[in-house]
Structure 1
C-alpha cells in the first residue's frame, strides 16, 4: 500500500513539471518504460501520443538493438526480460500475463519464438498454437496453423524461421519458416494482413545467380549435414519471388552440429542465422568446458561454400573466456552488424555474452550482460530485435 502511495505521489509531482521538461525526461527512457507510463494516466498518455514526441522517440528507438530473454515459468507470472545496447547497466522486465489473458493456454508454459520491432511470437507445446503479441498496441492475435498443421515447440528451429515486420508502422508482419517436405525444401509464409499462409517449393539456384548476405535477402536454415548445408534464400520485402535453394559446403573434415555443447562429447558449437555461422570452440572434460575461440563464417556470394569472415581477436578472447557446462546462442545480421548472444550455464548459474562484428570496419565488440537472476530457471526463448516504435 505504501508503494502505491509513493508511486501516486511521484506521478502527481512529475505532472506539475513543465511539459517540455517532462518530455525530455521521458525521452531519456527506453520504449518499454514509455509504454508503461502511457498506460499510467491520461496526462502522460496525451503527452506521449503527441506527434512531435512520437517522432523524437521513434528516431531514438529505431537505432536501438534489444536482446529479449524469456524464462520458463507459470503463465500467470509471464515476464519478458529485455536488455538494450542503449542502457547497458540493467535488464528491463516486461510483464505479459495480463496481455496474454485473452488467449487460453490452460496454464501452460510458453516458448518465445522470435521478435521484430513491436511484434513478438510465442508458441505453446500442448495447445500447439502460435500467438503474436504487439507490446505497443497491447494486442494479442492467434496465428492459424501452418499448412503442415499444428506444431509443438520442438518443431520450431531458431535459424530456420524469421519474423519480418512492415516498415510502414502498420503493425503487419510476415512469419517465415523453411522445412523439408517430400525431400524438397519448402518455404512457408504467414501474412498478418491477410491472415493466411502461403507455401512455395524452393527452386535450385542458377549457376550465375548472386545472393549477397544481408540487404533484401533472408536466409533460412533447413538442415546441416557432415559436409553440406541446405538453406532457403528469399526476399524480405516481398513473397512474389520464388525462394532459392542454397547449398554451401564446409571444407572442415569435422561435421556440423547444431544445438547444445555438453561435456567433452562436442568441442564446437555452431550458431546459425541470416546466412552466417558462428563456430564456438572449447576445451575441457568432466562436463565443464572453457571457451577458447570464436570464428564467424558466411555463405559465399555464389552460395557454394562457407567462407571465413573473421575470428574474434586474442585480446577479446582473453576477456570473454569462461567456464561452462552447456551453451546455446542466437545470431542476427542487420545493416552490416552481426550480433550473437551466447548463453551458458555452469552449476545452475546462467551467464550471457553479447558479441558483435561490424562487417564494414571489420571490428569486433563485446558487451558483458548483468545478472538476469535466472538461477534455477529454464531458458524458454531468446531473440534480438530492433526498430521498436511508438506507432
Structure 2
C-alpha cells in the first residue's frame, strides 16, 4: 500500500511539473547542475524534448562554464576500481559520478589509479600499476591511454599537481592538452601532450630578467621547485603567438615572514617541526600555520591561512591576504593536504583533513578584487569514511550533451 501511494505521489508530481509553462520549466532546469539534468532526461518525453533542444543545451553550457566543481576519488581497497564524487558550488549535495562504469573493460582488474587533475569534461588518472596516464571523457564516455611519456614510466609520486595543467580544446570539446613542467639535465622543460594527434611536444625555456609578469586567463603557471629562499616557476603564455617559449620566474620569499620554513612543490607538504603547510597552484601559494593540541604531533588546529602571490616583476613572493579568524575558527585538521586554483579572480583552496580517523573537506574562496573570504559549505562527506584518498581536484567547464 505504501509503495503504491508513493508511486501515485511521484506520478502526480511529474504531471504537475509538466503542466508548468515551458519558459518556467526551462528556468528551473537552468538552475540545476548537469548531473541533475541528466537524471531529468528519464522523467518523461516532454522533459526529454526540452532538454534535447539545441538552444537549451547551448544556454545551459554557457551558464555551466561559471560553475566550479571539486572531484574526490576514493578507494576502499587496492583491487577496488574506486568511486568518484563531485560537488558544485551551486549544488546542495554530492553526486556520485559513474566513472567506474566508463573505466570498466578499459582498465585491467586491480589497476591502481590515482586522480591527478580534472578540467572540462576530462579526468586525468595516473596508473601506479603500469606507470602510465589515463584520460577519461565523462561526456563522451571514452577512455584513452596516453602514449608513453618522453621521460619514461612515471608513477603517482613522480607527478606534481602544481606543475601540471589539463587544458580542454575550446574549439573541440572532445580534445585536450596535458602540460607539465620538469627539470631535465638541470634545464626547465615544458612537455605538452596533444590528444588530437596523440603526440608529445617539448620546449625548453628561457630565463626572464626585468620582465613584467602577465597575469590573465591565457597565462599558465607551472611550479618546478621550491627551495627555502627561492622558487622556480614556469610561465606559459597560452594565448600568444609571439611568445613561443615558456619563461622561467624565480620569485624569492622573505624567510622571516614564514619562520624560515622551506616550502614545497608538491600537492602539499606538512612540516611537523615548524607546523606549516604549503599548497601551490597557478601563480599563488597558500601557507597554513598549525597549532598542536596538548603537544600532540597529530592533533592540530589551523592557526592562520595566508595567500601569497608572485610579484609583477616575478622576483619575489608577496603576501596578498590573511584569512580572518572567523573563517579559520581553529578548525581541527590533523593530517592535511589540499589543492589550489585561480579562476575568474577567485582563489580557491580545498583542504583534506583527517581528525581522529575521520576525513573531512574544507573549501575556502578568496575574491581578490573584493578582498573577501568565504567558507563554502559542503554537505556531509560520509562517503569518505572507511575509504582511502586517491585524489582530489578542482574543475570547471563541465558541459552537457545528448
Asked whether the two chains share a fold, i.e. TM above 0.5, the reply is yes
Give the structure 1 partner of residue 291 of structure 2: 283
CA contact (8 A) 2:163 2:222 kept: yes
Give the structure 1 partner of residue 378 of structure 2: 369
Structure 1 residue 222: deviation in Å?
0.7
Pairing 1:128–2:139 present:
no
Pairing 1:219–2:228 present:
no
Structure 1 residue 223: deviation in Å?
0.8
CA contact (8 A) 1:247 1:303 kept: yes
Change (3 A) 1:378 1:260: farther
Structure 1 residue 169: deviation in Å?
4.7
Counterpart CA distance in 2 for 1:130 and 1:11 is: 46
Give the structure 2 partner of residue 104 of structure 1: 107
Counterpart CA distance in 1 for 2:55 and 2:347 is: 32
Which of 276, 282, 286 is the aligned partner of 1:274?
282
Change (3 A) 1:178 1:15: farther
> Alignment partner of 1:323: what SS?
coil
Give the structure 1 partner of residue 395 of structure 2: 385
CA contact (8 A) 1:297 1:309 kept: yes
CA contact (8 A) 1:227 1:251 kept: yes
Change (3 A) 1:61 1:106: same
Stretches of structure 1 lacking an aligned partner (at least 5 in a row) = none
Counterpart CA distance in 2 for 1:182 and 1:256 is: 23
Change (3 A) 1:179 1:39: farther
**Normalising by structure 1, what TM-score?**
0.90
Which of 228, 247, 265 is the aligned partner of 2:273?
265
> Alignment partner of 2:228: what SS?
coil
Pairing 1:357–2:363 present:
no
CA contact (8 A) 1:78 1:95 kept: no
Bigger Cα displacement from structure 2, 332-341 vs 137-146: 137-146
* CA deviation vs aligned residue, 1:34-91 (integer Å, no higher than 9, x gap): 234447887765542311210231132111111111112466653211111112x321
Which of 76, 79, 82 is the aligned partner of 1:78?
82
Pairing 1:139–2:142 present:
yes
Change (3 A) 1:314 1:12: closer
> Alignment partner of 1:261: what SS?
strand
Give the structure 2 partner of residue 346 of structure 1: 355
CA contact (8 A) 1:164 1:236 kept: no
Structure 1 residue 252: deviation in Å?
1.2
Give the structure 2 partner of residue 30 of structure 1: 33
Give the structure 1 partner of residue 250 of structure 2: 247
Change (3 A) 1:314 1:324: closer
Which of 313, 320, 343 is the aligned partner of 1:334?
343
Once the two structures are superposed, the pairs formed by residues 112-123 of structure 1 within 5 Å of their partners are 112-123=115-126
Once the two structures are superposed, the pairs formed by residues 136-175 of structure 1 within 5 Å of their partners are 136-175=139-178
CA contact (8 A) 1:76 1:97 kept: no
* CA deviation vs aligned residue, 1:352-382 (integer Å, no higher than 9, x gap): 1111111211111111322211122221111
How many residues were matched structurally? Answer: 384
Counterpart CA distance in 2 for 1:105 and 1:129 is: 13
CA contact (8 A) 1:214 1:333 kept: no
* CA deviation vs aligned residue, 1:125-148 (integer Å, no higher than 9, x gap): 011221111112222222112111
Stretches of structure 2 lacking an aligned partner (at least 5 in a row) = none
Pairing 1:209–2:211 present:
yes
CA contact (8 A) 1:131 1:141 kept: yes
Bigger Cα displacement from structure 2, 105-114 vs 227-236: 105-114
Structure 1 residue 255: deviation in Å?
3.0
CA contact (8 A) 2:261 2:274 kept: no
Bigger Cα displacement from structure 2, 267-276 vs 367-376: 367-376
| CA-atom RMSD in angstroms | 2.7
* CA deviation vs aligned residue, 1:16-49 (integer Å, no higher than 9, x gap): 9358265445333211232344478877655423
Structure 1 residue 256: deviation in Å?
2.3
Counterpart CA distance in 2 for 1:121 and 1:332 is: 16
Counterpart CA distance in 1 for 2:27 and 2:352 is: 35
Change (3 A) 1:235 1:226: same
Counterpart CA distance in 1 for 2:161 and 2:331 is: 24
